[in-house]
């Protein structure tokens, strides 16, 4: 990696900012303009410091004002009922609902200037998870699918996990950008769920009646016996099929491959630190998967955005009882689970090569609605970044006095995905070769 | 289509070219270049023969070629000594480049390999103060650095609030952007080097695009000079009318020779010729075969062919370079070619020294050709008849039988259904069923392809009476229809040209709207009858060019004036042009598509992306097939028959010592996984428990379904069947057949281990094997039947022994048999077509 030095710099919009120029990690489109830069890019690709990404997907649109970007000086109809508390980061305040995270703000960096382009949940969900609108040609791959395609999981585990109940959706439809998109179904996420008691269920691995691990072993042994070299076929596609077949076999038949899912191997103390909630236990499962070097784990807060409707599971879409729900349910759960996770990652020395991100698809309207709650707000929200070489303890971006718009350069989901890819060693050249994240740029301020 | 959508689509389309664009700027130091072995050429040739420098910044790149015995050629440019007769008039620098010093005439002597050649040089205007041309020097410099590429500032909305026109096609806009926009902050007239638009690509000011320019680069110097001269912009200067590439004809280079210096000349409207080698951007169509340096040096990386693509403003030129090498110990021998197909394929293989695989076995052929033509596995009766026949022409006879069978008609109808996007969502249930029936009849009657296209494109009236008018429901608007038409019948992805000239093809924005004009008057309207839509042609309604707002007349390539009277259906003129024997695209796209459907890979790949910059794996083969197709009045069955009867199609899928690395020139049959539909049908036939589908008559197979989204009101869509979904049945959202994914996924493997479809079939006590067992048939009998059904062959001794042993020693024989069938299904030989 080549450090080129630090500069005082201005970007195109004329806003001064400290520039980085750690070429390797930060420069997209470095493609071969010079030997030096190419070398640096290659070095970054080889070392790719991030080995696992955990995305805490706060589905439904968490209110930024009531959590991490309070506006205590805004007019009454904006600011809401919650008081603010200082954090460990000088000048940064949260609402009183996030005390544990406030006490750990030296471990992560907060972005307060996120913007997206849709106020519709599934559409904004696709944008948030792929960087692109779902109608702009074929649906683009989820960031996790991109990482999964680039990095095979080291053990016999899938490379891209969804921890949660199902593919995130609202009542009418699911997020189109949930999985492989243009990269193909091969890179769809693998679904696994933890209950609030820490019981893990994996629908695809629930054996059908009549199929047992022993039978799967017998069958596979028979297959190996019959599959002699002279009958074997050769092609890249066949090699890939054999690898896939072997992973599936491992998951179904090899108890070791399933150890990563076994939360009973954690002490009660650890399990209760995360909270006896599905999200809390999901975060613990994510940590175990990251330990098993799964490249990308997305922990879904809920399957549905809605909070109360039948079959729904308390998403962040708080059109009614916003303040009550945040105070009594959502914020305590998130505050606890996030804090436990970041402590755990940090204690285990995993923060260097694990990237932890928390975000939703948009924020909520700063102005309180006639139902005494908040509606969808695409023009300003937050994301939280930790580990993976990100310099912690900072705030990036700033929203206006009412929390309606960023007053600094807005940061987009496409930049989120590009930054994730870059940190995982998928530089601009590789992205271009994979035909993904076209036109995306890295969030330079993070690095 | 909203503006945003269009923009995004374009970003996407361009995205696929970014990879190409960004690989272009190789430094020679990074490339594995073998020193030139000059040897003893018979003669040398120098390009150009004479040259006149007409501007103060002109340069001349020489290209020196050596000709050897055995018709070998080599580029000797880098091994050449250049001597200028009068060094005060011109000088020669590295890379055999000549620079002017002062006005006058002199000559350059080129010496290499014991030969000499002399060219005359004339230098004019050396002292001229002619400013740097914005259009012809500054903008190309930005292009070369990659700034105005589609992935960078040339994107529809630019990057970082700085937008350039794509590859500089709009100089007026670019001059405004560079000089005046943002209060002129991009240019610094006092200290030109400090201009923001130079400091950024030098990476001295944070630049997301990274380092693109260095001060030592000629492009940088040119841009600085442009600023020094006051950012002079003359939009009315003499126009460049053409560019030419040397070598223009494709060359074959044999190792150790593997490099070729290129030279590019631009001709201006006053007849002036300039050497623009240093101003062009270079790309390779296949970086595995060829890489090209920023100075225009093409470097062969391995055996094969690739196109060199040269870009100067809106001009694109390409040439194909072929790299061959000696393969020691290979004795070339093939069986005699069966037809022109094999002759062309073998010629290409011999050139690259890939020895074709031997002929496949009868069993392999039967299984392969049945799957390709009917989508289904052969029945045991068919296997027995075929394997036992001694007839010399039994393969040909089999092909004839299959081509005349109803499963062939239905399976190839489904292939067309994918391409024509038959879906209930777009066409309604009745629309799909009618259109599907029409295609089936067309395939069954072997309707000539030109008539097929005509009937689709000229459809008018109710979609329930004229089934083909459903085609006009497959897109959201007329641009969509025109783009689909272009991709289907012209093999071009013209969508890029909607907003600007196509970056990789000669299609311009004018062309896009010229083609759209044929379709712009089509109207569709729903009637009161359920599911009915009427399509008709309005007699007015013109399309306007978005840039000029002028009415665009219908236009097709190669014809200056279309004869269109006011009251004719404009589509008729288009279709007449399209289906003419002389049309350069129509027949070629179809034979390439058929080839790709049978061989798993197009001669041009992707098969519907025909352009000079995407060279065919075997151009003579493609040309011969095209000619044959036209000569046989667009007879599709004839082409299918010719291909499947060739030795190339009938080659084994196994590699030999000499063709392991070939993935492109058809030295063997490339195995491919059965499609979702083929697989579910094969499982149904094997177990005798067939999947049934809602909303189609009983007995319809998956490979014969009209559309994936047919549904009864109380049932799910066919395409929602988990098995079909995970194995990649397409949803038919795009005209691209690439929607049919062949990636393997964990979901697929799990589906076979633990999915309800297969498990249901295996555990069903009514299935073929449970029944055979309860009827008391012997293990050997059952296993043999299984192998014949699955692989069209008998089990070998070892297979028989393992299988019968497994069965006989098992406590629960029924379960053991299920296991045995499962193991057969999971073998490569079953899951793949080979």
Q: What is the pTM of this model?
A: 0.81
- Return the CATH number at A109: 3.40.720
Which of the residue ranges A171-185, B162-176, B680-694, B717-731 has the most confident prediction, judged by mean pLDDT? Answer: B680-694
Distances (CA, A) of A326 to A66, A135, A284, A332, B238: 8, 33, 22, 8, 69
Which run of H or of E encompasses A358? strand A354-359
Distances (CA, A) of B557 to A95, A131, B307, B585: 66, 38, 23, 10
Nearest-CA neighbor of B827 among B673, B685, B635? Answer: B673
The lowest-confidence range among A4-13, A49-58, B327-336 is A4-13
- Give the one of A35, A186, A249 whose C-beta lies nearest to B27's C-beta: A35
Say if residue A56's pLDDT is above 60.
Answer: yes
Say if residue B615's pLDDT is above 60.
Answer: yes
Q: Average pLDDT of A174-187?
A: 85
- Give the one of B13, B155, B754 whose C-beta lies nearest to A208's C-beta: B754
> Given CB atoms, is B744 within the 8 Å cutoff of chain A?
yes
Say if residue A49's pLDDT is above 60.
Answer: yes
Distance from C-alpha of A291 to C-alpha of A52, rounded to nearest angstrom: 8
Distance from C-alpha of B305 to C-alpha of B326, rounded to nearest angstrom: 16
Cβ atoms A284, A274 nearer than 8 A: yes
A29 contacts on B by Cβ (under 8 Å): 22, 146, 151-152, 208-210, 212
List strand residue ranges (DSSP E) for B464-595, in order: 522-526, 533-537, 543-544, 551-552
> Given CB atoms, is A320 within the 8 Å cutoff of chain B?
no
Inspect the interface and report whether the beta carbons of A244 and B748 lie closer than 8 Å: yes
The dihedrals phi and psi of B183, each to the nearest 5 degrees, come to 55, 30
Name every residue whose Cβ is closer than 8 Å to that of residue B728 and which is 6 or more positions away in sequence: A184, A185, B675, B676, B740, B741, B742, B743
Distance from C-alpha of B434 to C-alpha of A207, rounded to nearest angstrom: 42
Q: Average pLDDT of B610-622?
A: 90
The dihedrals phi and psi of A163, each to the nearest 5 degrees, come to -100, 115
pLDDT value at residue B735: 55
Q: What is the pLDDT of residues B191-213, one digit of tens each?
A: 999 999 999 988 888 787 778 88
Q: What is the pLDDT of residues B663-714, one digit of tens each?
A: 899 999 999 999 999 999 999 999 999 998 988 999 999 999 999 888 876 6
Q: Is residue A10 part of a domain?
A: no
Distances (CA, A) of A379 to A318, A322, A336, A403, A410: 17, 19, 28, 9, 9
Q: Is residue A1 part of a domain?
A: no
Q: Average pLDDT of B811-832?
A: 96
Inspect the interface and report whether the beta carbons of A23 and B210 lie closer than 8 Å: yes
Which of B750, B758, B811, B832 to mutate against chain A (most A CBs within 10 Å)? B750
- Give the one of B663, B750, B819 whose C-beta lies nearest to A222's C-beta: B819
Which of A235, A418, A437 to mutate against chain B (most B CBs within 10 Å)? A235
Average pLDDT, chain B: 89
Which of the residue ranges A133-137, A242-246, B565-569 has the most confident prediction, judged by mean pLDDT? Answer: A242-246
Q: Is residue A109 part of a domain?
A: yes
Nearest-CA neighbor of A148 among A299, A295, A356? Answer: A295
Q: β-strand B63-67 against B73-75: which pairing, if any?
A: antiparallel
pLDDT value at residue B352: 93
Q: What is the pLDDT of residues B722-746, one digit of tens each?
A: 898 888 888 786 655 555 666 677 8
Our count of domains for chain A comes to 1
pLDDT value at residue B509: 81
pLDDT value at residue A34: 36
Q: Average pLDDT of B74-98?
A: 94
Q: What is the pLDDT of residues B407-430, one digit of tens each?
A: 999 999 999 999 998 988 889 899
Domain that holds residue A55: 48-202+267-411
Determine if residue B424 is left, alpha or beta; phi over 0 gives left, psi from -120 to 50 gives alpha, anything else beta. Answer: alpha
pLDDT value at residue A12: 24
Inspect the interface and report whether the beta carbons of B23 and A252 lie closer than 8 Å: no
Radius of gyration of chain B from its Cα atoms, rounded to whole angstroms: 31
Inspect the interface and report whether the beta carbons of A429 and B22 lie closer than 8 Å: yes
Say if residue B168's pLDDT is above 90.
Answer: no
Percent of chain B with pLDDT over 70: 94
Q: What is the ipTM of this complex?
A: 0.81
- Give the one of A35, A137, A185 whose C-beta lies nearest to B741's C-beta: A185
Q: Average pLDDT of A39-65?
A: 76
CATH code for B30-128+238-324?
Answer: 2.60.40.1080
């Amino acid at each position: 990696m080549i450090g080129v030095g630090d500069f005082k710099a201005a970007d195109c919009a004329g806003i001064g900012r400290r520039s980085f120029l750690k070429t390797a990690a930060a420069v997209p489109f470095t493609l071969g303009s010079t030997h030096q830069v190419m070398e640096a890019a290659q070095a970054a690709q080889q070392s790719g410091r991030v080995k696992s990404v955990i995305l805490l997907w706060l589905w439904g649109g968490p209110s930024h004002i009531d959590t991490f970007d309070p506006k205590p000086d805004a007019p009454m109809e904006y600011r809401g009922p919650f008081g603010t508390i200082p954090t460990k980061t000088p000048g940064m305040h949260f609402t009183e609902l996030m005390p544990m995270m406030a006490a750990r703000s030296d471990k992560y960096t907060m972005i307060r200037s996120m913007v997206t382009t849709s106020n519709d949940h599934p559409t904004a969900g696709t944008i948030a998870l792929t960087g692109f609108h779902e109608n702009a040609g074929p649906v683009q791959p989820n960031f996790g699918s991109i990482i999964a395609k680039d990095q095979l999981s080291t053990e016999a585990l899938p490379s891209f996990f969804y921890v949660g109940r199902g593919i995130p959706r609202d009542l009418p439809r699911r997020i189109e950008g949930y999985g492989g998109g243009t990269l193909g179904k091969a890179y769809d996420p693998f679904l696994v769920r933890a209950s609030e008691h820490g019981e893990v269920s994996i629908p695809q691995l629930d054996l059908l009646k009549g199929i047992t691990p022993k039978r799967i072993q017998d069958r596979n042994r028979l297959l190996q016996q019959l599959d002699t070299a002279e009958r074997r076929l050769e092609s890249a596609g066949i090699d890939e099929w054999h690898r896939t077949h072997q992973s599936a076999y491992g998951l179904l038949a090899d108890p070791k491959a399933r150890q990563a899912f076994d939360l009973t191997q954690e002490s009660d103390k650890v399990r209760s630190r995360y909270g006896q909630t599905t999200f809390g236990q999901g975060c613990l499962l994510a940590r175990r998967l990251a330990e098993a070097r799964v490249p990308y784990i997305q922990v879904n807060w809920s399957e549905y955005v809605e909070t109360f409707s039948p079959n729904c599971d308390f998403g962040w879409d708080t059109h009614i009882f916003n303040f009550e729900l945040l105070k009594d349910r959502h914020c305590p759960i998130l505050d606890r689970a996030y804090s436990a996770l970041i402590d755990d990652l940090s204690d285990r020395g995993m923060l260097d090569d694990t990237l932890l991100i928390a975000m939703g698809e948009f924020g909520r309207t700063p102005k309180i609605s006639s139902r005494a709650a908040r509606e969808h707000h695409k023009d300003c929200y937050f994301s939280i970044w930790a580990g993976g070489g990100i310099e912690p303890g900072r705030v990036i971006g700033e929203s206006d006095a009412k929390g309606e718009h960023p007053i600094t350069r807005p940061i987009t989901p496409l930049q989120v995905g590009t930054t994730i890819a870059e940190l995982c060693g998928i530089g601009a050249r590789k992205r271009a070769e994979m035909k993904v994240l076209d036109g995306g740029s890295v969030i330079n301020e993070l690095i | 289509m909203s503006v945003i959508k269009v923009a995004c689509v374009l970003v996407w389309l361009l995205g696929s070219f970014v990879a190409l664009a960004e690989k272009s700027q190789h430094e020679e130091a990074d490339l594995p270049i073998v020193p030139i072995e000059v040897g003893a050429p018979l003669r040398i040739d120098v390009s150009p023969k004479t040259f006149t420098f007409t501007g103060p910044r002109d340069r001349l790149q020489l290209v020196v070629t050596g000709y050897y015995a055995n018709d070998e050629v080599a580029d000797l440019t880098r091994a050449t000594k250049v001597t200028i007769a009068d060094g005060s008039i011109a000088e020669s620098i590295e890379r055999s480049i000549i620079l002017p010093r002062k006005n006058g005439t002199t000559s350059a002597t080129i010496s290499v390999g014991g030969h000499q050649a002399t060219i005359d040089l004339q230098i004019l205007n050396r002292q001229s103060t002619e400013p740097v041309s914005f259009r012809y020097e500054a903008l190309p410099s930005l292009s070369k650095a990659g700034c105005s590429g589609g992935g960078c500032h040339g994107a529809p909305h630019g990057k970082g609030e700085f937008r350039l026109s794509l590859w500089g096609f709009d100089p007026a806009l670019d001059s405004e952007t560079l000089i005046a926009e943002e209060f002129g902050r991009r240019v610094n007239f006092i200290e030109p080097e400090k201009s923001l638009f130079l400091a950024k690509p030098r990476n001295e000011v944070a630049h997301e695009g990274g380092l693109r320019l260095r001060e030592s680069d000629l492009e940088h110097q040119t841009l600085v000079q442009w600023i020094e001269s006051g950012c002079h912009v003359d939009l009315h200067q003499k126009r460049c009318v053409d560019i030419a590439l040397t070598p223009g004809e494709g060359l074959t280079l044999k190792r150790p020779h593997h490099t070729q210096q290129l030279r590019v000349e631009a001709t201006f409207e006053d007849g002036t010729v300039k050497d623009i080698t240093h101003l062009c951007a270079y790309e390779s169509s296949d970086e595995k075969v060829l890489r090209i340096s920023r100075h225009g040096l093409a470097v062969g990386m391995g055996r094969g062919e690739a196109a060199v693509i040269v870009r100067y403003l809106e001009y694109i030129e390409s040439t194909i370079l072929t790299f061959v090498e000696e393969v020691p110990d290979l004795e070339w021998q093939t069986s005699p070619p069966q037809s022109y197909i094999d002759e062309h394929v073998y010629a290409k293989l011999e050139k690259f020294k890939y020895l074709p695989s031997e002929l496949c076995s009868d069993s392999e052929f039967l299984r392969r050709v049945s799957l390709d033509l009917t989508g289904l596995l052969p029945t045991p009766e068919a296997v027995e008849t075929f394997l036992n026949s001694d007839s010399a022409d039994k393969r040909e006879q089999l092909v004839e039988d299959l081509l005349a069978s109803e499963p062939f008609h239905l399976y190839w109808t489904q292939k067309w259904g994918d391409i024509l996007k038959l879906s209930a969502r777009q066409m309604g249930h009745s629309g799909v069923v009618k259109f599907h029936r029409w295609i089936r009849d067309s395939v069954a009657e072997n309707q000539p392809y030109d008539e097929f296209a005509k009937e689709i494109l000229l459809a008018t009236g109710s979609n329930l009476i004229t089934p083909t008018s459903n085609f006009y429901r497959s897109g959201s608007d007329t641009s969509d229809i025109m783009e689909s038409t272009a991709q289907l019948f012209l093999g071009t992805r013209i969508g890029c040209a909607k907003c600007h000239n196509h970056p990789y093809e000669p299609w311009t924005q004018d062309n896009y709207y010229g083609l759209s004009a044929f379709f712009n008057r089509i109207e569709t309207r729903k009637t009161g009858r359920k599911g009915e839509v009427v399509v008709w042609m309005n007699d007015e309604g013109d399309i306007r060019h978005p840039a000029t707002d002028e009415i665009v007349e219908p236009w097709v390539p190669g014809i200056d004036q279309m004869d269109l009277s006011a009251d004719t259906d404009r589509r008729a003129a288009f279709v007449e042009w399209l289906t003419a024997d002389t049309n350069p695209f129509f027949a070629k796209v179809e034979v390439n598509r058929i080839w790709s459907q049978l061989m798993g890979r197009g001669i041009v790949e992707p098969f519907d992306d025909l352009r000079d910059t995407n060279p065919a794996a075997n151009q003579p083969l493609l040309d011969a097939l095209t000619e044959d197709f036209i000569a046989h009045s667009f007879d599709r069955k004839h082409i299918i028959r010719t291909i499947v009867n060739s030795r190339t199609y009938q080659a084994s899928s196994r590699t030999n010592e000499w063709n392991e690395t070939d993935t492109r020139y058809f030295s063997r049959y490339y195995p491919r996984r059965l499609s979702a539909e083929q697989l579910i049908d094969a499982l149904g036939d094997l177990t005798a428990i067939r999947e049934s589908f809602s909303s189609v008559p009983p007995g319809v197979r998956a490979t014969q379904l009209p559309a994936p989204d047919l549904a009864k009101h109380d049932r799910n869509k066919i395409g929602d069947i988990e098995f079909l979904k995970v194995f990649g049945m397409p949803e038919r959202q795009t005209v691209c057949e690439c929607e049919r994914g062949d990636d393997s996924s964990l979901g697929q493997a799990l589906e076979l281990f633990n999915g309800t479809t297969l498990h249901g079939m295996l555990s069903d006590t009514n299935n073929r094997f449970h029944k055979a067992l309860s009827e008391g048939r012997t293990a050997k009998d059952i296993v043999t039947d299984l192998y014949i059904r699955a692989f069209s062959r008998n089990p070998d001794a070892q297979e028989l022994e393992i299988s019968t042993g497994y069965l006989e020693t098992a406590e629960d024989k029924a379960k053991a048999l299920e296991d045995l069938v499962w193991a057969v299904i999971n073998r490569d030989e079953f899951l793949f077509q080979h």
